[in-house]
Amino acid sequence: MPLPILALAIASFCIGTTEFVIMGLLPEVAADLGVGIPAAGLLVTGYALGVVVGAPIIAVATANMPRKPVLVALAALFVLGNLLCAVAPTYGLLMAARIVTAFGHGAFFGIGSVVAASLVPPGKQASAIALMFAGLTLANILGVPGGTALGEAFGWRSTFFAVVLIGLASVAAIAWLVPANVARPSGGGLLGEVRVLGKLQVWLAMLISALASCSLFAVFTYVKPFLTDVSGLSTETVTWVLLLFGGGMTIGNIIGGRLADWKLMPTVIGTLLLLAALLASLARFGGHPAYAVAAVFVWGMLVFIIIPPLQLRVVGTASEAPNLAATLNQGAFNVGNAVGAWAGATALTAGVTYQGLPFVGAAIALIAVAVALFSQRLDRHLPATPLACPAQ
């Protein structure tokens, strides 16, 4: 894989650490800023909303700009945002800094995936996107636990200062390694980017992304009480099991890229079916600790097997002008995160037990299968469109 994709992976590691490390630092942040832990938890929600709102705004604002300067600027925005987080004296300013940081998240992954696909020949594009997203999976294995340990030892602000240093490295890597003329904007400019949003297949691809994410967060949001109350694991063991989940994500990301390069939609449909079956089995056999641990690892694999093909599906269906659609797909994932957590909470409030909650995720995964099958059937009635491989 070309070195420019490794530069994008460094940036995605920085972004992933920024997004998730706050969850491990909530007690320290709450105590330092004089707020409750639930209020500190809203820093996670604020970031997610920043991704959803910022993604289309940034994509539209940069539609006619060369891709490399945009990526450098977005990476620099993360450096600035994390610096503001590190020095924020109040809760309100920290929330504002988190939202500012999040504005570049969706656009970076959207535009970055288009750039990654443009750097390799057809047949390697999903693997290129997977390599860029590998930084995100590694953030969950290395960045988040490492950042949490750093924050506990030296204060939560030290974690954000460390992320600033990683961010500076990513800015330098992108500026140095990414070609100046990579993935030039389409001739249609902003109008062309908006026009592709009129294609049903683009919206179906984003709906599958949202449903896949919704299926995950309907259950994963409450995975700790599931593992302690249903599987009987200790709180300390759960920490290691979640690390195992991150390992599965990393392996799945690599597998997903290669499978999607081989058969894209069969990979999406097959993985969603396996997800539904796994979640149903977790509801049935989750009371056995050994099975629960193994299932969480496989769950992590399946969750990220589907990410590269879904991102490439959006890029392919919007191949004439893919930047806005690819960026909006990141917003779709985050919408799925929020709706999934809400769906899980609603089910629990309605009387569903923690053990029965995976059935909710399985049902959502099956809905995603139905949408994917419909989209695949439409492919047979539409002219073939080559996957995006913009001029370099």
Same domain for 349 and 309, yes or no, is yes
The number of domains in the chain is 2
Q: Do residues 138 and 258 share a domain?
A: no
Whole-number Å distance between alpha carbons of 274 and 292: 16
Residue with tokens 């600790």: 289
pLDDT at 97: 94
Range(s) of the domain holding residue 47: 3-185
This prediction has a pTM of: 0.79
pLDDT at 385: 44
The CATH number of the domain holding residue 364 is 1.20.1250.20
Same domain? For 201 and 129 the reply is: no
Exposed, middle or buried by CB within 10 Å (0-12, 13-18, 19+), for 325? buried
Q: Of the candidates 128, 150, 185, which is a domain's last residue?
A: 185
Determine, yes or no, domain membership for 384. no
Per-residue pLDDT for the chain (392 aa), expressed as one digit of tens each? 678 899 999 999 998 888 878 877 878 888 899 988 778 878 877 888 888 888 888 888 887 788 899 999 999 999 999 999 999 999 999 999 999 899 888 889 888 888 888 888 888 888 888 888 888 888 878 887 888 888 888 999 999 999 999 999 999 999 999 888 776 655 556 677 777 778 899 899 999 999 999 999 888 878 888 898 899 988 778 878 888 888 898 899 889 888 888 888 999 999 999 999 999 999 999 999 999 999 999 999 999 899 888 888 888 887 776 777 888 888 888 888 878 888 888 898 899 999 999 999 999 999 999 999 999 998 776 544 444 443 33
Whether residues 180 and 283 share a domain: the answer is no
Q: Are 20 and 92 found together in one domain? A: yes
Q: Does 390 map to a domain?
A: no
Asked if residue 392 belongs to a domain, the reply is no
CA 376 from chain center: how many Å? 24
